[in-house]
Amino acid sequence: MKTFVITGAASGIGAATKAQLDAAGHRTISLDIQHADIVADLATAEGRQAAIEQVIASAETIDGLVCCAGLGVTAPSAEMIVAVNYYGVMDLIHGLTEHLARQDGAAITVIGSFAATQQVHQPDALSLALLENDANAVSTALSNIAGPHVAYSASKYAVTVASRRLVRVLGKQGVRINIIAPGAVATPLHQASLNDPTFGQAVKNFVSPLGAHTDPNHIASLVSYIHSEAASFMHGSVLFVDGGMDAMLRPTQF
Ligand code: NAD
């Protein structure tokens, strides 16, 4: 039996992941702004610190951290998207690495997004500011942001790159990190995007070679695999589960 911390476990991909890990006999500690073992607001620095402290108080060691909590384009503000999708992942990773490193074979999974690829060729000012850890530049970039969709892709690009940059430091401590980049997944977040008057039509038009969307259980299965012994040499990978969308649009980049 392993112990997992799952952020965003109250809904969608996080809830499916928790259900699968529970069914496999593991201990799961859910962390969310609602309906969770640890209720914390990952949109604020105080909430993230409280979350870290509560995790450490809840379990002497943890085998896995699964960062699913996130906000989509219908979130109240671009600031909140960045706060939850970027800082809500990176602060938790930094705050819990030492705790994870106590356990042999510990691993982290970050739920990124296919949307991160929109920034790969030319990362925008927000992506660069996040990666440079420059709070003033982040706030300037947010005040000039073209819309929540840009905050979303920037937050997902930055969290993917920042996670990959940790392979050496985490690897030395025996902690693996991998990123899953889903395409469309049938969850409340995706449904809210479909219903959105500004973005709904674009989301509906965005159909992968394998269809419109997948089931959150298919992402959860990959999380289970990443945290199994069979994946013990997988580190720093970005795993697309997008119905072929990335390969269709960028066949030469991998
Ligand atoms: P969801 O809305 O079903 O679940 C997100 C969870 O995050 C919710 O339980 C919510 O309460 C929690 N959360 C939101 N703000 C929080 C905060 N401030 N503090 C703590 N918890 C908070 O969405 P989902 O689709 O399951 O999304 C999970 C992850 O997958 C997100 O990071 C999302 O960006 C990513 N993703 C989703 C899709 C998709 O199509 N659904 C595609 C690509 C990536």
pLDDT at 126: 98
pLDDT of residue 10: 98
Confidence of residue 4 (pLDDT cuts 50, 70, 90): very high
Q: Quickly state the pLDDT bin for 231 (edges 50, 70, 90).
A: very high
- Measure 209 CA to ligand 1 centroid, in angstroms: 24
In whole numbers, what is the pLDDT of the chain averaged over residues? 97
CA torsion angle 207 208 210 213 (round to 10): -60
Tell me what pLDDT residue 160 has.
98
Ligand 1 atom nearest to 43, measured from its CA: 18
Handedness of CA 170, 221, 254, 81 (dihedral sign): negative
Q: What is the 3-state secondary structure (H, E, C) of the chain?
A: CCEEEEECCCCHHHHHHHHHHHHCCCEEEEEECCCCCEECCCCCHHHHHHHHHHHHHHCCCCCEEEECCCCCCCCCCHHHHHHHHHHHHHHHHHHHHHHHHCCCCCEEEEECCHHHHHHCCCCCHHHHHHHCCCHHHHHHHHHCCCCHHHHHHHHHHHHHHHHHCCHHHHHHCCCEEEEEEECCECCHHHHHHHHCCCCHHHHHHCCECCECCECHHHHHHHHHHHCCHHHCCCCCCEEEECCCHHHHHCCCCC
What pLDDT shows up at residue 215? 97
Block residue for tokens 């819309």: 147
The pLDDT value given to residue 97? 98
Which residues make Cβ contacts (< 8 Å) with residue 45, sequence separation at least 6? 87, 91
Residue with CA at minimum distance from ligand 1 atom 32: 70
Structure confidence at residue 65 (pLDDT): 98
* Angle (CA) 193 151 94, round 5°: 110
pLDDT at 26: 98
pLDDT tens digits, one per residue of 197-211: 999 999 999 899 999
State the pLDDT at residue 54. Answer: 98
Q: Which residues contact 221 (CB under 8 A, 6 or more apart)?
A: 20
234-251 residue pLDDT tens: 999 999 999 999 999 999
Q: Once rounded to an integer, what is the mean pLDDT over residues 81-89? A: 98
* Mean pLDDT (whole number) for 88-111: 98
Q: Phi, psi at residue 92, to the nearest 5°? A: -65, -40
Average pLDDT over residues 78-88: 98
Distance from residue 12's CA to the centre of ligand 1 (Å): 7
The pick from 18, 39, 68 for probing ligand 1's pocket by mutation, whose C-beta has the most ligand atoms within 8 angstroms, reads: 68
Query: How large is the average pLDDT for residues 20-41?
Result: 98
Question: What's the rounded mean pLDDT across residues 28-50?
Answer: 98
CA separation, residue 93 to residues 38, 99, 149, 224, 225 (Å): 16, 10, 25, 19, 20
Residue 104's pLDDT is 96
| Catalytic annotation, pick one of 87, 152, 157, 225 | 152
Ligand 1 geometric centre to CA of 29 (Å): 17
152 is annotated as an active-site residue: yes
Q: Give residue 62's pLDDT band: very low, low, confident or very high (50, 70, 90).
A: very high
pLDDT for 162 equals 98
Mean pLDDT value across residues 169-186: 98
Q: Which atom of ligand 1 is nearest to the CA of 13?
A: 26
Ligand 1: residue of 5, 6, 7, 13 to mutate (most ligand atoms within 8 A of CB) is: 13
Q: How confident is the model at residue 178 (pLDDT cuts 50, 70, 90)?
A: very high
d(CA 190, CA 72): 8
pLDDT score, position 187: 98
Quick one: pLDDT at residue 168?
A: 98
Query: What's the maximum distance between 2 C-alpha atoms anywhere in the chain?
Result: 48
Cα–Cα distance, 129 to 163 (Å, whole number) = 16
Cα of 117 vs centre of ligand 1, distance in Å, is: 18
Instruction: Find the residues whose C-beta lies inside 6 A of ligand 1.
Output: 8, 10-14, 32-34, 41-43, 68-72, 84-85, 111, 113, 182, 184-185, 187-190
Tokens of 223: 């999380």
Ligand 1 atom nearest to 184, measured from its CA: 40
What number is the average pLDDT over the span 179-187? 98
